[in-house]
A and B are shown apart, each in its own frame.
Chain A
Amino acid sequence: MERLRERYYLSYPKSLIREPLLYHLVKKFDLVFNIRGASVSEEMGLVAVEFEGSSEQIERALAWLRQTGVTVEPIEKNVIE
C-alpha cells in the first residue's frame, strides 16, 4: 500500500494539554510521526507534525484527533482568502 507523508498543525485546547495524545495516536493507528515544532502556553498547545502512513491510517487518525477535541489543520492554515 502507498505510504504518504502529510504535514499538519495540531492545536490542543487547554483541557487536553496534559493528555499524551500522540502516544495514543501511535498505539491506536501505528503511525510514524515526526514533530517539527511545538509551543505550549496556559491557553493552548500547538504542534507541527508530519505523519507517515497509508492514506486510510492517516484519515482515521485525523478523525480520532478531531473527535478528541484537537483542531487539525494543514500547515498552510487558512488558504481561502
Chain B
Amino acid sequence: MSYVTNLKCRECGQEYPIKPLHVCEDCFGPLEVSYDYAKIRAAVSRAAIAARPHNLWRYRELLPVDGEPEAGPFSGFTPLLPARRLGAELGLKKLYIKDDTVNHPTLSYKDRVVSVAITKARDFGFSTVSCASTGNLATAVAAHAARAGLKSVIFMPEGVEAGKIVGSSIYGARVITIRGNYDDVNRLCSEIADKYGWGFVNINLRPYYTEGAKTFGFEVAEQLGWKLPNHIVLPTAGGTILPKVAKAFKELKEVGLVHGGEFKIHCAQAAGAAPVIHALHKNTDLITPVKPDTIAKSIAIGNPADGFYVLRAVRESGGWGEMASDPEIIDAIKLLARTEGIFAEPAGGTTLAVTLKLIAAGRIKADESVVVSITGNGYKTLEAVANSIEPPLVIEARLKDFDAIYESLGDGKRSLKGVA
C-alpha cells in the first residue's frame, strides 16, 4: 500500500498526479512527492522497521512505492561507524562516519536514489532508463537497470576517463559520448529527455529519485537509536541529498519515530565548484553558476538543480557551509583512511575537510554528536590521490637490504623479538 498522495510544486504548490513529471507547468518549479503522514504515523513503528531486512526499503512507507520494490534488495543500510581515533584527533567525543563507500552494488550513495528511480521506471512501464553522468550515477543506473531487466543508455561528455566508460558498459549499458562542452551536453540531455519516452532517472523521474536520498537520513537516525545527531555534514553537488536528509529528519518526527531533537545540517563543497557556498556566505538566495575546476569530480556541478533548497535547509536548521581546496580534500581523504580505515572518494574528503573548518570556527563543539557523510568510494578515484601518497620503498630480496631500512619504518620494537 502506498502512502503517497501526489506530486506538488515546491514553489507554487500546484498539485500533479503520480506520473513521470518533474517541473511545474505553471512556474517551472521542481515537483516533490507528498505523503499522508497521519496514515503513515498509524502504520509504522520502530519494532516493525527493526524486523525488516537491512536495506533501504525498511522505510518503505516514507518512499514513493507501491508493493514490493524490485530494485536495490541489498542497497542502503550502510554502517554508521563510531570514529574514535578520528574523533580523538579532532577533539570530538561523539563523531560518526556514515559510510556509503560500501553501498551495494556500486559503492556510492547513488545506489539509494537509483533503487527508487528504477522501481518507479518499472511502475511507469519504461523499458529504457537513462542518465547523463560522468561517474557514480552512470554506474548505479547501469547496474540496477541490468538487475531489473531494463535497457540503459548513458550519456557522457567526450573525454571522460576510459575507466568511467568501462564502469557502465560492463553492465550492458549503451554509452554515448557527446562532443561539445559541458553546457552543450547538458542541454542536449534535457532535450532528449523531453523528446523520447525514456525514464531519465534525474530528469523526468527526479521527484522519485531524490526521495531515495532520504534513506541516508532515516538510517542515521535509526542507527543512533532513533535520535537525531546535533550536526550532520553533507556534500553538495546537484543538491539532492542535503535537503532530503533534512526532509527525512522532519518526517521521522512527524510520524513519531523520533521524538524531538534539534539538528544542524552543514553543506560541504569543493572550492572549485562552490556556487552554493558562495551564495550562503553572501547571504543571498541567488546562486551564480560557476565553471567547475576541482579534483572532486563527483561533486563538480556548477549550477545545481536544487541549490536553492540546499541553502534553505541549511539556513532553517541553523547550520553553515564551507568549501575545501583540492589539497585540503586530499589531506582529509588521507586522514580518514589513516585513522578509520575508510578510503573515501574526493567528495568524502571534502566533507571531512569542511568538518575540520566547522570545528575550528567553533560551530561544532567537543561534546556534540556529529555525523560526517561519506558518499562514495576512493577505489573509484585512485587518480585523485595517486600522486599524494608516499612512494613504496624498493629493496633487493636480501635481509641486509631490509635491515638497512628497518629503522626508517618507525616503532617496530615489539617485532624485534629474537633478534640479538
Residue in contact with B203 in the complex, picked from A43, A71, A79, CB distance below 8 Å: A79
Pair B186/A81 contact, Cβ less than 8 Å: no
A33 to B191, CA, bound (A): 18
Please indicate the chain A residues that have their CB under 8 angstroms from the CB of B302 in the complex.
78
Pair A81/B157 contact, Cβ less than 8 Å: no
A41 to B283, CA, bound (A): 12
A41 to B133, CA, bound (A): 32
Pair B284/A73 contact, Cβ less than 8 Å: no
Pair A11/B288 contact, Cβ less than 8 Å: yes
Q: Does B132 contact A (CB under 8 A)?
A: yes
Would you list which residues of chain B between 157 and 191 have a CB under 8 Å from chain A?
157, 182-183, 185-187, 189-191
Pair A73/B303 contact, Cβ less than 8 Å: yes
Give 1 or 0 for each of A36-73: 1 = CB within 8 Å of chain B CB. Answer: 11010101101010000000000000000000000101
A41 to B285, CA, bound (A): 9
Number of A-B contacts (CB under 8 A): 86
Q: Does A76 contact B (CB under 8 A)?
A: yes
Pair B305/A80 contact, Cβ less than 8 Å: no
Check A37/B133 contact, CB under 8 A, given A73-B186, A74-B186, A81-B202: no
Please indicate the chain A residues that have their CB under 8 angstroms from the CB of B217 in the complex.
none
Pair B133/A81 contact, Cβ less than 8 Å: yes
Residue in contact with A79 in the complex, picked from B23, B110, B186, CB distance below 8 Å: B186
**How many residues of chain A are within 8 Å of chain B by beta carbon?**
21
A34 to B39, CA, bound (A): 40
Please indicate the chain A residues that have their CB under 8 angstroms from the CB of B200 in the complex.
79
Pair B288/A79 contact, Cβ less than 8 Å: no
A79 to B157, CA, bound (A): 12
Pair B305/A77 contact, Cβ less than 8 Å: yes
Give 1 or 0 for each of B128-168: 1 = CB within 8 Å of chain A CB. Answer: 00011110110000000000000000010100000000000
Q: Does B301 contact A (CB under 8 A)?
A: yes
Q: From A45, which residue of chain B is reached at the shortest CB distance?
A: B286
Pair B28/A77 contact, Cβ less than 8 Å: no
Q: Does B214 contact A (CB under 8 A)?
A: no
Q: Does A75 contact B (CB under 8 A)?
A: yes
Would you list which residues of chain B between 291 and 312 have a CB under 8 Å from chain A?
301-305
Would you list which residues of chain B between 340 and 377 have a CB under 8 Å from chain A?
none
A46 to B308, CA, bound (A): 13
Q: Does B289 contact A (CB under 8 A)?
A: yes
Please indicate the chain B residues that have their CB under 8 angstroms from the CB of A75 in the complex.
23, 28, 190
Check A74/B187 contact, CB under 8 A, given A48-B27, A81-B202: yes
Q: From B307, which residue of chain A is reached at the shortest CB distance?
A: A77
Pair A79/B237 contact, Cβ less than 8 Å: no
Pair A46/B186 contact, Cβ less than 8 Å: no
Q: From B188, which residue of chain A is reached at the shortest CB distance?
A: A74
Pair B286/A46 contact, Cβ less than 8 Å: yes
A37 to B238, CA, bound (A): 21
**7 closest cross-chain pairs (CB), A and B:** A74-B190, A81-B137, A77-B305, A80-B132, A48-B28, A77-B303, A75-B28
Interface on B for A, CB 8 Å cutoff? 11, 22-23, 26-29, 110, 131-134, 136-137, 155, 157, 182-183, 185-187, 189-191, 193, 200, 202-203, 206, 237-238, 282, 284-286, 288-289, 301-305
Q: A71-B289, A75-B28, A79-B202 are in contact. List 10 more A-B contacts (CB 8 A).
A: A37-B11, A43-B282, A77-B303, A78-B186, A79-B186, A79-B189, A80-B157, A80-B189, A81-B134, A81-B202
Q: 5 pairs across A/B with beta carbons < 8 Å? A: A43-B284, A71-B289, A77-B304, A79-B203, A81-B134
